[in-house]
Structure 1
Amino acid sequence: MENYCNKCGAPLADYRCEACSHLAFKFDYARAAYVFKTPAQELVYHLKYSDIRSPAVFFSQALMSIPAAKRFRGNFDLVTAVPLHRVRERDRGYNQSELLGRALAFELGIPFSQPVIRRQNTRSQTNLSRQARLDNLSGAFTLRRGANVGGQRIIVVDDVFTTGTTVNEVSQVLKAGGASRVAVLTATRAV
């Protein structure tokens, strides 16, 4: 038995954490490869801001080694990533979560697709409270025109799970579009 919340993946001793008993997460399941502290925190920083892309492969392989990974192979139809707004992606040169998602899709042998877009260039979530994060991301994501996720079982990938706001907003868009199941996998988890 894993010692994680059955819903959000927070480390704990019980079946479901206190936060999940009060929050209405739209995703069905979440896990992270590492806790967001050094050295994993430094690897995320380099992946995100230093144009060092190799941590994406490292984290995807780490995600494949978690005990729950056996459930992913053959039980999901596609992998997607939390999208960046086109302005931020142009400035950075790439989307670190997409790199991680593509590497994970390769490991799982399932397609990578980006059915969700970020229509608002929101400010960074880094130093925001839970409520400010919710306000910041409200309505920020939408399904790409022509995207069909009806009945799909989808893995959403991101670099850091802090409050779950970002991955929850993406999951909500996917579920509203008809996705039957949404799991969240992140490189790291803030605790």
Structure 2
Amino acid sequence: MMEEKSLLHWKNTLISIDKLFFPPVCLACNQRIESVKEVLCSECKELLSPITINYCDKCGAPMIDYSCAYCSENDFVFDIARAAFIYQSPVRELIHNFKYNAFLAPASFFSQAIMELPEADKFANNFDLITAVPLHRVRKRERGYNQSELIAKKLAIKWNIPYAEPVKRYLPTPSQTTLNAEERVNNLKNAFRLKKNADVKGKKIILVDDVFTTGTTVNEVSRVLKEAGASKVAVLTAARAI
């Protein structure tokens, strides 16, 4: 018993020392916060823009009136898309740190936000499989992880839905961030393919990504899944660009 108390004492001491020299900070504004798990300070949390009302039934885009500019201009293959937040500060900075600077705590933050979507129960109870937009093996090796995969795996555990990777990214395409809409489509042609022996026929699949910008990437992955026989594809993302 004394040994356990001693170990606990040293553990708490080490945690205190770690916080003293490496205090956790808000991943949007760098203000000090109490715990790494919080990821954002209280001020930045006040600036979050969750998408909970007035969104397109199909692609989930926030709408001012009753028409969706995204759906009118795009031929979306997926059946439905939803996002937790509008892609603006502080979510923009949070995703950047998550994606490029190896801060992994946002995976839990974003998965929890997705689980709080108005239609979360529909996704949790009516789908057979969760997957993530895949990274090319070279990019994943360079980064060390796939941020979308981390979110997807946490959702899979919370919702008790199997996680799998039926789609592979075969082409190491340039980043989509600097391309226009037409270039994005051309950039991803034949980039994704179904893996050998992957069976998605008749399955309802949740596809997870970090940001829905034009929808080109998730649409191409959805196309591969649908052509392989998936009966339904729902896209869930941490954020939605507008």
TM over 0.5: yes
What is the aligned partner in structure 1 of residue 88 from structure 2?
37
- Superposed CA offset, 1:111-141 (max 9, x none): 1101000000000001110101001001100
Q: What's the TM-score, normalizing by structure 2?
A: 0.77
Q: What's the TM-score, normalizing by structure 1?
A: 0.97
What is the aligned partner in structure 2 of residue 171 from structure 1?
222
Question: Among residues 85, 107, 114, which one is paired with 1:63 in the alignment?
Answer: 114
More helix per residue: 1 or 2? 2
Letter in structure 2 aligned against 1:133 = R
Give how far 1:46 is off: 1.2
Whole-Å separation in 2 of the counterparts to 1:80 and 1:14: 33
RMSD: 1.2
Give how far 1:19 is off: 2.3
Q: How does 1:133-172 map to 2 (within 5 A)?
A: 133-172=184-223
Task: Give identity over the alignment, percent.
Answer: 58
Give how far 1:15 is off: 5.2
Give how far 1:2 is off: 3.8
Whole-Å separation in 2 of the counterparts to 1:19 and 1:42: 24
Whole-Å separation in 2 of the counterparts to 1:82 and 1:73: 19
Q: How does 1:46-57 map to 2 (within 5 A)?
A: 46-57=97-108
Contiguous gaps of at least 5 residues in structure 1: none
Tell which structure's C-alpha radius of gyration is larger. Answer: 2
Whole-Å separation in 2 of the counterparts to 1:180 and 1:38: 36
Relative contact order higher in (CA < 8 Å, ≥ 6 apart): 1
Contiguous gaps of at least 5 residues in structure 2: 1-51
What is the aligned partner in structure 2 of residue 19 from structure 1?
70
Pairing 1:180–2:208 present: no
Q: Aligned in 2, Cα 1:16/1:107: closer, same or farther, shift over 3 Å?
A: farther
CA contact (8 A) 1:78 1:152 kept: yes
Letter in structure 2 aligned against 1:141 = F
CA contact (8 A) 2:61 2:70 kept: no
Pairing 1:73–2:124 present: yes
